[in-house]
Amino acid sequence: MGTPADLDLSGAELHELEAALRDLGSPAFHARQIFQWIHKRGVTDVRLMTDLSRELREALATRFVLTTPDVVKTERSSDGTTKFLLRLSDGKQIEAVCIPEHPVGPTDVRDADRVTFCLSTQVGCAMGCAFCLTGKMGIDRNLTAAEIVGQVRVLGRELGVLDQRFTIVLMGMGEPLHNYDETMKALRILADERGLGMSPRRVTLSTVGVLPALERLATEPLMPNLAISLHSTTEEQRDLLVPINRKYGLKELLDACRRFPLKRRERITFEYVMLKNVNDTPDDARRLVRLLSDIKAKVNLLPLNEAAGIPFERPSDAAVDRFARILAERGLTVSVRKSRGRDIRAACGQLITETPRTATPGRRLALAMDAAGRS
């Protein structure tokens, strides 16, 4: 827990709030009230927490901070997807996205049966995947638990859906397991029944395979759904597409998935971005079947969302259908993700904010693939 001078009320777990209130001479139930105000009601000004005494509210405002990302810009897609550009307290910027379960009009998100919040966990990303715009930013810094949780509060407030059922995917900017402690702290805060009470079954964490952190995740009492960003069926190709594979290889990653604890009806989702003439062949599909044959798996195919700066092309619908059919005929559960929010650059792999960094890992990897004769 932080000291009273630096404790962010938004990023504190309930036991941390109780300890902070105890230092102020206040009983524990005041901590529960504050927690509910912030995480269930979305209130970010302690002076509006009207069931607390005026003296306590003044002490909270004086002694602590309560940070919430500021909305810089909002863009709405024709399918109802909404992208938020958010400014953090130090001026850094991130993006988060709200996706209705089924396409709706651009102004009636509240009419959706369910929405999904796609959250960021870092400013930028260090993974440098060749087909992802966020990777072009490089890594600036990790987000705090307060900044991760704050995205939920902002999206829910801005769209009027904080009191509705929604799901969360940690698939925005950043690699969640590269920011392990703050990401898991944020999930514990979101899961606390005195706040939003988010069931771990409504949260999906996506990772490219940071193995030490993945193995640590396997021991957590709070277990989100797991999605593995696979994208390739050979070590050599994955080295080029997903550079962390050079440190934690495909074989080691899949072995860790085999050991990962799953309940009877649970499966690991394997995400596979399809790149034209790179990883979309029938041979790739058949290798994928063999790789996953002894894992409780389902495959989510993602035809590339093309964008300037990404040196690959989207495969044809026929190639995607052929690939999916090979998987399905051999017993794998497979789905093809419908791209959402492409008209506002909110689709998978398209989140990027302004940065002074000039590294272009995707271009370098594409040239390496050309040299290796693989693209």
* Domain positions in the chain: 9-63, 119-372
The third-level CATH classification (topology) of the domain covering 9-63 is: DNA polymerase; domain 1 (1.10.150)
Same CATH fold assignment for domains 9-63 and 119-372: no
Residue 250: is its pLDDT beyond 50? Answer: yes
CA–CA gap between residue 125 and residue 104 (Å, rounded): 31
pLDDT, residue 114, reads 85
Helices (H) and strands (E) in the chain, counts: 12, 12
Contact (CB, 8 A) for 321 and 303: no
Residue 153: is its pLDDT beyond 70? Answer: yes
Give the residue-averaged pLDDT of 311-320.
95
Give the residue-averaged pLDDT of 120-136.
93
Mean pLDDT lowest among 192-201, 238-247, 291-300, 358-367: 358-367
pLDDT digits (tens, 9 = 90+) for 74-97: 999 888 899 999 999 999 999 999
For the domain spanning 119-372, the CATH number is 3.20.20.70
pLDDT, residue 342, reads 54
Q: ∠ at Cα 280 (274, 286), nearest 5°?
A: 120
Among candidate residues 98, 129, 257, 348, the one labeled active-site is: 348
Mean pLDDT lowest among 68-82, 141-155, 193-207, 328-342: 328-342
Pairing mode, strands 268-274 and 297-303: parallel
Contact (CB, 8 A) for 68 and 151: no
What is the SS3 assignment for 14? helix
Task: Establish whether 125 is a catalytic residue.
Answer: no
pLDDT-based confidence at residue 265 (cuts at 50, 70, 90)? confident
Task: Establish whether 129 is a catalytic residue.
Answer: no
For residue 184, give the H/E element and its range. Answer: helix 180-191
pLDDT digits (tens, 9 = 90+) for 295-310: 999 999 999 988 888 8
Among candidate residues 16, 18, 95, 175, the one labeled active-site is: 95
CA–CA gap between residue 148 and residue 213 (Å, rounded): 18
Q: Which pTM value belongs to this model?
A: 0.88
Picking from 234, 236, 180, the residue whose alpha carbon sits closest to that of residue 205 is 180
pLDDT digits (tens, 9 = 90+) for 185-201: 999 999 999 999 999 99
Contact (CB, 8 A) for 336 and 303: yes
pLDDT, residue 135, reads 86
pLDDT, residue 106, reads 52
The residue written with tokens 């062949």 in the block is 281
